[in-house]
Structure 1
Amino acid sequence: MIVLPEVNSEAMPAAPAAAPERIQGRAQGRLAALYLAPGMLGFLIFIIIPLVSSLAISLYKWPLFGDPEFVGFDNYASLFSSDPVFWTVLGNTLVFAVCYTVLNLGISLGLATWLHHIGKWGPFFRVLFFIPVVTPMTANALVWRLMLSDNGVVNSGLAGVGIHGPSWLSDSNLAMASLIAMSLWQGIGYNIFVLGAGLSNISPGLLEAATIDGAGPWQRFYRIVFPMLSPTLFFCTVMTIIGSFKVFTQPYLLTLGGPGESTNTIVLYLYRNGFSFDKMGYASSLAWILFVIVMLITALQFSQQKRWVNYDN
């Protein structure tokens, strides 16, 4: 008979048990996936699938009603080589984007600074400036069309002081300026609101200390306000530029892209090719060119932000 030695059970390591934290983490992961599923499903259906489909459609000669014909990159080649209207609308869009962005940021920054210092009336005026932002663009454009017509409110007011008003929407030299003016009235309220929130986060003590040290208004703005406001201003710049390249409602309702092609933009030209000229493939190629332009400009802004954006606040 073989006698086995006794084993000290207390000295043996216990069997590894599943860590409670790991089990809890897996449960939380499954719960998070459950909550994210509806949003991700919507993102897939309404963003990813249409995005990929539009890229595929851009490689076809695809009428709105009819059989598509694969043409490869012919749509893109036609845009750059044999479509003079494309270069016109691209130039119009760039002019609008540059003028609108510069004026929007300049005016909104000035007004936000003013509203920040007027005391109890600041919130009231912020809401007043923000009302056009939440008003439907279509309604705003129709009101401005009536105001800027030959016999509209603007020319009637000018006639009252003996000035013969121009054709704001029919003159190729004034039509784009009219679109920019309407767009500024519609859009500056958003940036005023955002920049006002950024200004509220700047400690008044810093400005008071700079004033005691002899810093003037411009020195306080350049040395303190602007660096601390730069992340907010960077956000407003990116969003304003992206929105300006997508301008559509204003030229569509105010001028129909005219006179001539002076106010025609990329998105309006895209719409016309797709739904007026029955060229869905051509319109999709325009959409992808616009996407690439906006993506490159946005990437350039992010790559250059370290030169002027200060996050060490």
Structure 2
Amino acid sequence: MTARTFRAEGRRAVSSRRPRPGGNGWLGVAFVAPQVLGVIVLGVVPFIFVIWYSFNEWRPLTGEMEFIGLDNYYRLVADPTFSASIIASLLFSAGVLVLNLVIAISLAVLLNRRMKGITGFRTIFFSPVVVSVVAWSVTWGFLLAPDGGINGALAILGIDGPNWLADPSTALISLVVVQVFKGVGMNMVLFLAALQSVPEEIREAAHLDGAGPWRSFRSITVPMIAPTILLTGILTTIGSLEVFAPVQLLTGGGPGDTTNVLPFFLYRTAFISQQFGYASAIGVVLFAIILALTMLQWTTRRRWVHDEV
């Protein structure tokens, strides 16, 4: 066989192994099409309508719609309730983010051990994640009542507990605690998986070099689980800015506007005050805040997520 014939046979063999154009492409499209279609129909299209409604005064009960331009947004700027809602949302989100990540990492470190009964403890800490948010909120409503379980336990210690959900100084903190214990189990599982992927050889080398437990955790473990910290930070921030059910069931946005977070303010504006155009403007601003905070976390990742390229 000549060299030319050998090369020709090689080209024919390679071409015979190549997938035919469109052979598997339509199969891939078929797999992703339901998800893409769902995002477009249930996400993109409704959001476009929300943006359009925010430029209108819409009265769905009478079917009237009047284009008013940016008036709803000008009204938001001058609305003190809207300003209070932004402050409440940001404080709530910051509290949930910090407490959730700190507790989740601490639990993951404690449960990342091989000992008898550790699986049961993991299940206990994760179980609130699968509990209905309504049932979870109602249960905490009984615990945080003036004569509820928490104040009853404090009374045994000789402490007169406050009215947790009606006191402006404790209402938002109480909601933060309720939200943190509801979702901390999910982040704990993510951190536990990340910790188990850290090579034990690196920890042993650090120990031989004289690094203590805290120095080893701070200088080795945290940098290696930084991608998981980024992921959980983004998801926790988004979830905390979308909270609604605990506010509705526990405080109703009060006392005053201390817990009147943006999703609850949007709900009251749309379905109680029937101001759907104004509520649409609130929704657009809420989306912009979530997008801005997410992009801020994402763009700063190269400073502390050390395996970024």
Q: TM-score by structure 1 length?
A: 0.90
Q: Counterpart amino acid of 1:87?
A: S
Helix, strand or coil for the counterpart of 2:222? helix
Aligned to 2:73: 76
Residue number in structure 2 paired with 1:106:
102
Aligned to 1:59: 55
Number of equivalent positions = 298
Preserved CA contact (<8 Å) 2:302 2:308: no
1:133 pairs with one of 129, 132, 151: 129
Q: CA deviation at 1:118?
A: 5.4
Amino acid at match of 1:246: E
Give the 5 Å matches for 1:146-295: 146-295=142-291
Runs (5+) with no aligned partner, structure 2: none
1:162/1:23 CA distance change after superposition, 3 Å = closer
Deviations 1:130-153 (A, max 9, x none): 111110111000011111111111
In the alignment, what sits opposite 2:92? 96
Query: Hey, what's the Cα distance between the residues in 2 that align with 1:304 and 1:78?
Result: 33
**Which 5+ residue runs of structure 1 have no aligned equivalent?**
1-9
User: Where does residue 20 of structure 2 map in the other structure?
Assistant: 24
**CA RMSD in angstroms, aligned pairs only:** 2.0
Instruction: Deviation per CA, 1:152-187: give whole Å up to 9, x if none.
Output: 111222223332221111111111111111111111
C-alpha distance in 1 between matches for 2:227 and 2:117: 26
Q: Following TM superposition, by how much is the alpha carbon of 1:312 offset from its aligned partner in structure 2, in angstroms?
A: 6.5
2:117 match: secondary structure: helix
Q: Residue 290 of structure 2 aligns to which amino acid in structure 1?
A: V
CA distance in 2, matches of 1:296, 1:120: 45
Aligned letter for 2:106? Answer: G
Alpha-carbon offset, residue 120 of structure 1: 4.1
Give the AA of the match of 1:262.
T
Contact 1:116 1:199 in 2 (8 A): yes
Write the letter of the residue equivalent to 2:72.
N
1:21 deviation in Å?
Answer: 6.0
For 1:225, what is the secondary structure of its paired residue?
A: helix
Q: Find the residue that maps to 1:41 and give its secondary structure.
A: helix
Return the alpha-carbon distance in structure 2 between the equivalents of residues 286 and 274 of structure 1: 10
Shift in alpha-carbon separation, 1:77–1:309, aligned structure 2, 3 A: same
Secondary structure at 2:59's aligned position in 1? coil
1:22 to partner: Cα distance: 6.4
Q: TM-score, normalised by structure 2?
A: 0.91
Residue matched to 1:38: 34
SS at match of 1:27: coil
- Contact 1:274–1:283 (Cα < 8 Å) also in 2: yes
Partners of 1:119 and 1:228 in 2: how far apart?
24
Residues of 1 paired with 2:200 and 2:284: CA distance? 47
Larger radius of gyration: 1
Identity between Structure 1 and Structure 2 (%): 36
CA contact (8 A) 1:64 1:275 kept: no
Q: Please give the alpha-carbon distance, in whole angstroms, between the structure 1 residues aligned to 2:100 and 2:37.
A: 36
Displacement of 1:64 after TM fit? 3.3
Shift of the 117–35 alpha-carbon distance from structure 1 to 2, 3 Å rule, reads closer
Runs of 4+ in structure 1 off by over 6 angstroms are none
Alpha-carbon distance between aligned partners in 2 of 1:35 and 1:226, rounded to the nearest angstrom: 37
User: What letter corresponds to residue 49 of structure 1 in structure 2?
Assistant: V
C-alpha separation in 1, matches of 2:194 and 2:111: 12
Amino acid at match of 1:274: A
